[in-house]
Amino acid sequence: MRLSLSPSPRPTARGIALALFQDASPAKHPWFPALPAGAKQTVLAFAKSKEFIGKSGEVHVIPFGAPVRRVVLLGLGVRKDWNRRKATLASRQVVVVAKQHKITDIALRLADLQLPNVDVASLAQLVAENAQLADYSFTRYRKIPKGGWPKLASYVLHVRLADRTAAAKGVRVGTVIGAANNAARDLANTPGSDMTPALLANAAVAEGKKSGFFVTVMKKDAIEREGMGGLLGVSQGSPHSPTFTIMEYTAPGHATDKPIVYVGKGVTFDSGGLNVKPDTSMYEMHMDMSGAAAVIAAMCAIALLKLPLRVIGLIPAAENMSAGDAYRPGDQLRTLSGKTIEVMHTDAEGRVILADALTYAERYKPSAVIDVATLTGAAMVALGQRAAAILSPNEAFSQQLHTLAEESGDLAWPLPLWEEYEADIQGTFGDVANSSKVRYGGAITGAAFLWQFAKKFSRWAHIDIAPTMTTIDGQFLAKGSAGAGVRLLIAYARKYAAA
């Protein structure tokens, strides 16, 4: 899909989107006078009969002319309730409706979606970003249907001539971020048979060459020399050796900066190990490397946007299987930090490999560390499927990430992480247990475990993206991975670079 800008006051696309607030008269829309008489009559008839009243998400598609063109009436809801989340959905819905009705090119007035206190560049970014997300589908393993997949070739945003420069900047940024988010979805949607730890590392190398950041991959022998016993332990039951990938982006003049470090969980398939998962819980576990995908994709966008800062991405990658060599409940794993992990449950493996990565991050003396992981089903129990969980002992940092999550559309909500929770993950025979002694608050105790390896960071946060790993109905996104975490990581880097 090509997204472009036009200063023309009249649309020439085959699809014309009229975005209208509830009970607003279509006749007052600036594009209404440009419609042919027959189309005007039909639109007014829909409004008069109340078949279209502009409720949020309401859509009617009206054909007119020869060759056939279409007016897309898109409801925005009550004006006073209009907000960023609804603008996000409307931006996506335009694309979805166009593809459903085989409209190959569509036009929309950017001003129709105007938000209070949001400038033109930011609004254009939002629309461009979400148009990319809505246009995505994962069809690599499907037979191409006769006539091909539905395709929206062109999405034209109409802006005032005075706003074109600002809008162009927003479209450029939004296109980069949307493409990065979709790249993460590609990685996460790929089956475990085609996304082993080595292949995940290869994907990071390829993205680094394409986007402009440096990548180093540690294989098993190097991981052993480092002493990453957590990563080695989790991978024992798989024929696929672990990898540890280091991605480095440094803008010119920023080589001596204290970097941001992003850490992504890279469990390329999670069977649960010897504590095997139920069959209904195992189907999507090729996506248990979604945190790694988010970090790789965020690094791509940061490099392409040429942000003036230094960023490190760390990906511990392993497959958690249950062969004869698999790690066992009761095992003691000595980590890079020197601490031992008492294995209480082999399906609490993500935190085990992240422990080594967090310790490795210390050598960079980072300004901030954020890890991203599909860590716990408990986070989904706490928050449903509409928000990831943010956990940090630094409440100001947690709140900053919460604000950026709302602004970026990568929604996340803070949960508490207090010293009292550390008692729940103390080991009996080892230093720390990988599963809590209590059955409640699993998202928090999982973060409390990670905190034991993040004590040296003044700004550290754990983002549990298990709730938002996949898309849900009503988001106008294709089924499968949502690319959770990507936009939040990019937003933090952009905010830090602008500070």
User: Rounded to whole angstroms, how far apart are CA atoms 73 and 218?
Assistant: 54
Verify that 153 and 194 share a domain, yes or no.
no
Q: What is the mean pLDDT of residues 15-33?
A: 95
Which tokens go with 282?
């195992």
**pLDDT tens by residue, 37-76:** 999 999 999 999 999 999 999 999 999 987 889 999 999 9
Q: Does the residue 167 lie in any domain?
A: no
Bigger pLDDT: 137 or 280? 137
| Predicted pLDDT of residue 65 | 86
| Predicted pLDDT of residue 23 | 83
Verify that 139 and 194 share a domain, yes or no.
no
Verify that 209 and 262 share a domain, yes or no.
yes
Based on the structure, what is the number of domains in the chain?
2
| Predicted pLDDT of residue 479 | 97
User: Rounded to whole angstroms, how far apart are CA atoms 177 and 137?
Assistant: 17
| Predicted pLDDT of residue 485 | 98
pLDDT category, 412, cuts 50, 70, 90?
very high
User: Rounded to whole angstroms, how far apart are CA atoms 320 and 237?
Assistant: 7
Instruction: Say how many Å lie between the first and final Cα of the chain, rounded.
Output: 34
Q: Does the residue 236 lie in any domain?
A: yes
Verify that 105 and 150 share a domain, yes or no.
yes
**pLDDT tens by residue, 356-385:** 999 999 999 999 999 999 999 999 999 999
Q: Which domain holds residue 393?
A: 178-498
- Going by C-beta distance under 8 Å and a sequence separation of 6 or more, which residues neighbour residue 495? 400, 404
338 phi-psi bin (left φ>0, alpha ψ -120 to 50, beta other): left
Average pLDDT of the chain to the nearest whole number: 97
Which tokens go with 237?
């039951």
Q: Is the pLDDT of residue 8 over 90?
A: no
Verify that 136 and 182 share a domain, yes or no.
no
Q: Is the pLDDT of residue 94 over 90?
A: yes
Q: Does the residue 368 lie in any domain?
A: yes
**pLDDT tens by residue, 106-128:** 999 999 999 999 999 999 999 99
User: Rounded to whole angstroms, how far apart are CA atoms 472 and 166?
Assistant: 33
Verify that 123 and 205 share a domain, yes or no.
no
Active site residues: 277, 351
Q: What is the mean pLDDT of residues 23-34?
A: 93
Q: Is the pLDDT of residue 334 over 90?
A: yes
Q: Which residue has the tokens 């986007």?
A: 211
303 to 184, 308, 487, 489: CA distances (angstroms): 15, 9, 14, 13
CATH code of the domain containing 155: 3.40.220.10
Cα torsion angle, 292, 298, 301, 302, sign: negative
| Predicted pLDDT of residue 380 | 97
**pLDDT tens by residue, 225-264:** 999 999 999 999 999 999 999 999 999 999 999 999 999 9
Domain boundary among the residues 160, 194, 218 is at 160
Verify that 328 and 228 share a domain, yes or no.
yes
Q: What is the mean pLDDT of residues 212-224?
A: 98
Closest by CA position to 199, among listed 369, 331, 88, 315: 315
Bigger pLDDT: 404 or 279? 404
Q: Does the residue 169 lie in any domain?
A: no
One-letter identity of residue 309: L
> Is pTM beyond 0.85 here?
yes
| Predicted pLDDT of residue 277 | 96
| Predicted pLDDT of residue 428 | 97
Verify that 155 and 218 share a domain, yes or no.
no
| Predicted pLDDT of residue 438 | 93
Q: Is the pLDDT of residue 436 over 90?
A: yes
Q: Does the residue 168 lie in any domain?
A: no
Verify that 190 and 66 share a domain, yes or no.
no
Which tokens go with 185?
């979805």
Verify that 239 and 155 share a domain, yes or no.
no
Q: Which residue has the tokens 């989790």?
A: 234
Q: Is the pLDDT of residue 147 over 90?
A: no
Domain boundary among the residues 127, 160, 193 is at 160
User: Rounded to whole angstroms, how far apart are CA atoms 381 and 372?
Assistant: 18
pLDDT category, 442, cuts 50, 70, 90?
very high
pLDDT category, 176, cuts 50, 70, 90?
very high
Q: Does the residue 166 lie in any domain?
A: no
Q: Percent of the chain scored above 90 by pLDDT? A: 97
User: Rounded to whole angstroms, how far apart are CA atoms 389 and 382?
Assistant: 9
Domain boundary among the residues 160, 187, 220 is at 160
pLDDT category, 9, cuts 50, 70, 90?
confident
| Predicted pLDDT of residue 242 | 98
**pLDDT tens by residue, 295-333:** 999 999 999 999 999 999 999 999 999 999 999 999 999
User: Rounded to whole angstroms, how far apart are CA atoms 92 and 86?
Assistant: 10
- C-beta separation of 244 from 315 below 8 A: yes
Q: Is the pLDDT of residue 499 over 90?
A: no
CATH code of the domain containing 203: 3.40.630.10
Q: Does the residue 171 lie in any domain?
A: no
| Predicted pLDDT of residue 459 | 98
- Going by C-beta distance under 8 Å and a sequence separation of 6 or more, which residues neighbour residue 493? 260, 298, 302, 307, 309, 311
Q: Which residue has the tokens 């950041």?
A: 213
Verify that 259 and 351 share a domain, yes or no.
yes
For residue 266, what are the β-bridge partners?
A: 317
Verify that 156 and 184 share a domain, yes or no.
no
